[in-house]
Amino acid sequence: MRGADTGSVAGRDGMPTIPPLLDPSLLSPASLLAMLRFEPVGSGERLGCEVLVARAWPRGAAAGTAEVSFEFEFDAEHGTVLRRARFEDGRCVQMPEALSACFDGPIDPDRFEFDAPFGGQGGVVP
Global confidence as pTM: 0.62
- How buried is residue 6: exposed, middle or buried, by Cβ count under 10 Å (0-12/13-18/19+)? exposed
List, for residues 98-121, the tens digit of each pLDDT value. 888 888 888 888 878 877 777 666
pLDDT of residue 1: 45
* Coil, strand or helix at 28: coil
Give the domains, in start order, of the chain with CATH numbers: 20-101 (2.50.20.10)
What's the pLDDT band for 7 if we cut at 50, 70, 90?
low
Average pLDDT of 58-67? 76
Name the residue with higher pLDDT: 14 or 32: 32
36-39, Cβ contacts within 8 angstroms, sequence gap of 24 or more: 36/70, 37/61, 37/63, 38/72, 39/63
Find the range with the poorest average confidence among 9-18, 33-42, 61-70. Answer: 9-18
Q: What rounded mean pLDDT belongs to the chain?
A: 77
Are 58 and 36 spatial neighbours (Cβ–Cβ below 8 Å)?
A: yes
When comparing pLDDT for 111 and 89, which is higher? 89
Provide the pLDDT for residue 87: 93
